[in-house]
Amino acid sequence: MKIFYSDLHFQHAPAFEVFDGGVRVPTFEVPERAERILAALRKTGWAEIHPPIDFGLDSILAVHDRDYVEFLASAWTEWLATDPEAESATDKSALLPATFALRGQAHRPKSLLGRAGYYMMDLSAPIVAGTYAAALASANCALSAAQAITHTTSTFALCRPPGHHAGKSHCGGYCYFNNAAIAAHWLSAHGKVTLLDIDYHAGNGTQDIFYERGDVLSISIHADPAFEYPYYAGYAEERGAGAGLGFHHNFPLPAGTGDEEYLTTLNAALHLIREFQPTALVISAGMDIYSEDPLGKIRITREGIRQIGARIAELRLPTAIIMEGGYNNDALGDNVVAFLGEFE
């Protein structure tokens, strides 16, 4: 299996995030995540590690608003320039706003901190010196995986930072560019595509991007947003709009969901995919569904993760698997290998 990986992800290493209740904590989304996965993959006999191809910005701009992309590209330099006394990136630490745009207030301010609050949905996507370069490389890993499945069966993009919380014009939840959505859009030029999100958290950014499109069937299986991040999207009644009505499906799960209940829900999602008859499949593969993940409240075992992979693989579709969440670093590599091994 071709694995696409870039060490540019190291450039994105925020020292902290602001957690629930306003507590400043070390970020859970650290470079070690990707390195643990890479080390586990190198122990297999089937993983072929490749650098990504540089696709330029066109494929990203097909999914994300230009002004948002330009904000990510310039934000750190602008942030440093706001304090002439700052001599290094360490002096500025990270760009995070204190004020956020409210619902229905669409005016884009000119100030940097105003734009930060306009383009960020929360305090878990700080921008540091290397954020933009890492996000570009992550998107290129996903695009490389998408391109590769036009002539092979399955690929894996070891994306970091992850992407599924990033919408058309916002970052959040550790995500800056929506890697899976960018890959799915690229593949949509070749036929119908399904994007299946199995991350613990709802793929609100993906929902935002494809909500009014009928050429990409988007499905998200996740913890119920009534009690879990991202709280404001991912409900079962959200089914798409306009041309996309009926082409988006959310499957919210209660806390404590185990293997058997999850697999039953997955079967319903797979039925929708078979009815849609896509030519390609993109998977947002979050391993934070694992029972011992520090950010999760459902209880999927490693065997359950393997079975999830096996059932999806039975679709026999060209499949680009895109890495999303997963924060138990001791188990993360083995969980990813258990999942990917069913596609190898």
Give the residue numbers marked as catalytic: 165
The C-alpha atoms of residue 313 and residue 309 are separated, in whole angstroms, by 6
Exposed/middle/buried for residue 264 (C-beta within 10 Å: 0-12, 13-18, 19+): exposed
The C-alpha atoms of residue 174 and residue 164 are separated, in whole angstroms, by 9
First-to-last C-alpha distance (Å) of the chain: 6
Identify how many contiguous H helices and E strands the chain contains and give both numbers: 11, 10
Q: Which run of H or of E encompasses 77?
A: helix 66-81
Exposed/middle/buried for residue 38 (C-beta within 10 Å: 0-12, 13-18, 19+): middle
* Angle subtended at Cα 184 by Cα 13 and Cα 232, rounded to the nearest 5 degrees: 65
Three-state secondary structure call for residue 340:
helix
Cis link prior to 26 (omega < 30° from 0)? no
- 185 touches 216 (CB < 8 A): yes
- 255 touches 297 (CB < 8 A): yes
- Parallel, antiparallel, or unpaired for β 17-19 and 319-323? unpaired
| 297 secondary structure, DSSP code | -
